[in-house]
Homo-oligomer: A and B are copies of this chain.
């Protein structure tokens, strides 16, 4: 059996899967909002132990644990740097080593978005296609690219669709740049934009819902709930997010012209098909191939996609059988 971790800005999802790729145990914990990388590593280890318990196995008995991580990932060294959506993680941290010591098995780390894209390509909504753009709409907006069946990572930083510019001299992005798609669409930016509107005297239930639910940030669920309550600020900000996603994804497609787009991420999955359709519609006026647009689907593996994808990073030990097909 193998472990898989989806390390997100909001939550840590752990799964334990068997050699046939079936999920045998899972656990989800909130990502620490304070402390630093060692606290995050502790939380990951805790989530993995929970998933292993549910699967009836010790973590040390796993063939290994794959981690999909934000930030800049050095897979060979197992080091994660500049993970700005994680607490105090501007520098570099040897996550594979630290986590491996805590759980007693080998750890392999790759970029979270590429891991999730690979999972959708191999097991999810991307299976019919040879080239894909994965769009993960959550705390930020991440992009994963598959070309002719293989991940395209460029010099290591490809797929940064969140930082495709949608408006020159536009809004300040959490990354510090101006006019990025993520500055209008990422959940972190959306929360900043909502706070600004409140400061200007606009009324919204977003922060009341947050308090009522005992959260300290606007999760995807809070945004969805505010929409259900016909909250005008939430609706307006998500309209702007949809518009930005349409422009930015269309720009990326004008460059890549892949077969299909897969929409996932916390907000993407939570808002679902109606928002996928809205983003697709917002894309069309900017798409060079609007007469013959790429297919666009919701991610099929849902919330567990990232963690299942991460488990694919671990190959069963010699003698093990029946693993799912992997990216060649």
State the A residues within 8 Å of B (CB): 131, 143, 145, 147, 152-161, 163-168, 170, 175, 177-180, 243-244, 247-248, 250-252, 254-259, 285-286, 288-289, 292, 294
Contact = CB atoms under 8 A, between A and B. Distances in A.
A255 B257 contact: no
Tell me the number of copies of this protein. Answer: 2
B163 A286 contact: yes
Contact of A286 (B165, B251, B288): B165
B255 A143 contact: yes
A256 B153 CA distance: 8
A275 B46 CA distance: 55
A156 to B, nearest CB: 7
A281 to B, nearest CB: 15
Contact of A160 (B166, B167, B168, B288): B288
B154 A256 contact: yes
Contact of A243 (B161, B168, B259, B289): B168
A154 B179 CA distance: 27
Given A167-B168, A177-B286, A251-B164, A158 B244 contact: no
A250 B286 contact: no
A267 to B, nearest CB: 20
Given A168-B244, A251-B165, A258 B154 contact: yes
Given A155-B257, A177-B285, A178-B286, 7 more contacts: A131-B154, A154-B257, A155-B292, A157-B254, A158-B255, A179-B247, A252-B255
Contacts of A254: 157, 160-161, 163-164
> Which of A152, A157, A251 neighbours the largest number of chain B CB atoms within 10 Å of its CB?
A251
B259 A161 contact: no
A153 B257 contact: yes
B163 A166 contact: no
A250 B165 contact: yes
B285 A178 contact: yes
A247 B181 CA distance: 13
Contact of A256 (B158, B288, B294): B158
A157 B243 contact: no
A288 B167 CA distance: 16
A75 to B, nearest CB: 16
A284 to B, nearest CB: 10
Contacts of A168: 166-167, 170, 243-244, 247
A135 to B, nearest CB: 12
B158 A257 contact: yes
A167 B164 contact: no
Nearest to A290: B177
A178 B165 CA distance: 14
